[in-house]
Amino acid sequence: MFRLSSLLIPITLAFAMVAPAHADQSDLNASFDTAFGTEMRAPTTFQAIYETSFEAQIAELADGTRGRIGVYAVDLATGDEVSILGDMRFPMASTSKVAVAATFLAGVDEGKYSLTSEYPLQVPVRSKKFSSDAAPVKQGNYVPAHELIGLMISKSCNSCTDALIKVVGGTDAVNKWVHEEAGIKDFELSRTIATLVRDDGEFDPVEWVDPRDSATPRAMGQLLAGLHQGRWLSAESRAVLMAALEKTTTGRRRMNAALPEEASLAHKTGTLSRTASDIGIFRLADGRAIAAAIYVTGQSANLTDERRNKRAARARRDARIADITRALYTGFSAKAGLLDDPTSNWTAAPDGNRTGG
C-alpha cells in the first residue's frame, strides 16, 4: 500500500523542515508562517495577537501544551469571527459526514437521487490494518436515503455514510461539491469511513498533520454556516439536514453539555485516536445563530498513556470542547449586549439536573 508519510508535517520538527540552517531569524519566521500560517508560532503574550479579552480567553482555553486545538466561530448576524489555529488542518473524523450528506442532498435537488430511494448499507468486513487501500465491505440491508441521512448524522452510522459515499460517486465527488459548489478549499475526504476507522492510529494527530481526511476549523465552520443559511441547498434539503443535526445524540459532554436548551444546538461530532471534535450551530438569547467548529487533539501524555487511560483522555478532550463552547456562548452574548454582567457565565448558576451526559 502507498503510504503518505512523506506528505505529513511533523509539528515538532517544523523549523528543520521549512528553513535552512543558515537563515536569519526573519527568514525563519517567514518560512514558518508560509508553512503553517501566522497563528502557529506561539505568541509571547496573548495581547500581542488577540485584539479583545474574548479572543484571549478562547486562546487560553485552546492552549496547545497537551495537544493541538483548533477553534473557529462566527456570528452569522454580524460576521464577527474568533479563530485559534483556524486555518490549520485537523482530522475531520465523523464531522466529514455533514459534507457527505450535503453532497447527496444537492444531487436530490438536481433530480439525480430521491430521498425515498433505498440503498444498501456498506458493512465492513474484518481485515488487518493497512492491508489494502480500501477496507473491504459487504452489502447490507437496503435503507431509504432519508433514513441513511438521519442515522449517519444523529447516530454517526458509518455503514450509512459509506452507502451514500458510494451513491454520489466516491470521495472525489464529495470533494468536488465542497470545493466547487460550496467554494471551500481546505477540505479533503480521502477514504471511506470503513477504511478510516480500520486504519485509525497510523499517525499521532498531536505530532503530525495528516492531509488525508482533514479540514481546517474555518472550513468546517463556513460549511455549516452556508448550509444553515441555505446557500447551496433547497429549503427542503436544508430542512432535512438541519433536522438530523438537531437530533444528534453523540458527544453529550461536548457542545451539548455547555449550552442551555434554548440554544437549539444542531451539531455533528467526530472521534478518532487522540482526537475529538464538534461542529455546530447554536443560538443566542436574541435568536442569532453562531456557527462553531472545535477540534481537540491529545490531552494525554502520549499514545501509550492514551491506551492505558483511554476513558480519562476522552473525558479531557470532551471537557475542552465544552469549556470552549461555553466561552463562545458567553463571549458572543456579551458582544451582542445580551448579558447584564459581561463577566458572568450562565453555567455558574447551580443546576443539579445538568450533567452534560
**Cell triple for 167:** 451513491
pLDDT reported for residue 140: 98
- When pLDDT is averaged across residues 269-290 and rounded to a whole number, the result is 97
What is d(CA 79, CA 291) in angstroms, rounded to the nearest whole number? Answer: 10
Listed residue (323, 244, 243, 332) closest to 283, CA to CA: 332
Task: Please report the beta strands in the chain, taking only residues with DSSP state E, as ranges in sequence order.
Answer: 9-10, 69-75, 81-84, 90-91, 118-124, 137-144, 187-188, 208-209, 214-215, 266-272, 275-283, 289-297
pLDDT reported for residue 307: 85
pLDDT reported for residue 302: 83
**Cell triple for 177:** 461539491
Listed residue (123, 141, 278, 99) closest to 198, CA to CA: 123
- In angstroms and rounded to an integer, the radius of gyration of the C-alpha atoms of the chain is 20
- When pLDDT is averaged across residues 17-30 and rounded to a whole number, the result is 39
Reply yes or no on whether the pLDDT at 357 is more than 90.
no
Reply yes or no on whether the pLDDT at 329 is more than 50.
yes
pLDDT reported for residue 48: 35
Domains of the chain (ranges, CATH numbers): 5-29+44-348 (3.40.710.10)
pLDDT reported for residue 305: 85
